[in-house]
Amino acid sequence: MTAARSPRVHLYADGEFMLSYGPQDGPQLLVLQPLFEEMNRCRAMIAGLCRALAGRGIGCWLPDLPGTGESLRALDTLTWEDWLAAVETAAATVREGTGTAPAVLAIRGGALLDHRAGSKRLRLAPTTGRSLLSDLRRSALASGSDPAHPAGYTVSPALAEALGAAAPSLDGEIRTLRLASDDRPADHRIEGMPLWRRPEPETDRDMETALVEEIARWAMA
């Protein structure tokens, strides 16, 4: 086990942020985060996964999509195609930087974009755009805020429309992981809590350990 080192900061797609963890030789993994509030809820878990995988010799790359995380762009100016193009550019940046085309780990809504990042893809609890849109709308209704600006997420009508129609692509070499509590089709199930539902960021050590094993085996294969 190598000591956990700080991630490196990269820029891609005209000034968007991407962190990288671990070696730049050997297998490389591009990690597509959940969308909207789920991204914040999963941030600690995903950083933990990246550090653990880096310690196993897998280089991990974690882009913030335009309009999310550290991005300087405003979410309400973005289209769905901007996100698809960003994911493609992030994969190209990894390939140019390391000489290795990355495998893709897509978590929740990240799976709606992953077909533009590569063909070898592992998905954790993929969801549909319709479900994410329902969540945004209900959060807005519940909090009494304007449904067009749900919980601080101002989504353009064009992005909302494309999101509502988005489903994970079936093309490519896809492996799907789901939680044991979710009976929708999957290649493998993991015991754990849906951390993307928890308002306070949490971690689940047993789930993280099981995920690291599963992802490392798949990435090394």
Partner 1 sequence: MTIEDQLRAILRDVLGLDAGRAAALDADTPLFGAMPELDSMAVAGLLTEIEDRLHILIEDDEVGGEMLETFGGLAAFVKGKRGA
Footprint of partner 1 on this chain (CB under 8 A)?
A: 127, 131, 134-135, 137-139, 141-143, 151, 181-184, 193-194, 197-199, 202
Q: How far is the CB of 207 from partner 1 (least distance, A)?
A: 12
Which one, 138 or 188, has the nearer CB to partner 1? 138
Q: How far is the CB of 10 from partner 1 (least distance, A)?
A: 33
Which one, 157 or 199, has the nearer CB to partner 1? 199
Residue 144 CB partners (closer than 8 Å, separation 6+):
none
Q: State how far the Cα of 1 lies from the Cα of 4, in Å rounded to an integer.
A: 9
Q: How far is the CB of 54 from partner 1 (least distance, A)?
A: 29
List phi, psi (to 5°) of 207.
Answer: -65, -40
Helix (H) or strand (E) holding 209: helix 205-220
Q: How far is the CB of 175 from partner 1 (least distance, A)?
A: 20
Q: How far is the CB of 13 from partner 1 (least distance, A)?
A: 30
- Strand order across the beta sheet in which 28-32 lies: 8-12, 16-21, 59-63, 28-32, 103-107, 120-124, 173-179, 188-190
Residue 187 CB partners (closer than 8 Å, separation 6+):
175, 176, 177
Which one, 73 or 137, has the nearer CB to partner 1? 137
Which one, 4 or 207, has the nearer CB to partner 1? 207
Cα separations (Å) of 194 from 33, 118, 181, 207?
14, 26, 9, 10
Q: How far is the CB of 125 from partner 1 (least distance, A)?
A: 9
Q: How far is the CB of 184 from partner 1 (least distance, A)?
A: 8
- Which runs of E-coded beta strand occur in 68-172? 103-107, 120-124
Which one, 101 or 179, has the nearer CB to partner 1? 179
Which one, 152 or 172, has the nearer CB to partner 1? 152
CA 16 to chain centre: 15
Cα separations (Å) of 175 from 81, 125, 126, 196?
24, 11, 11, 20
For residue 211, give both structure tokens: 């995920």
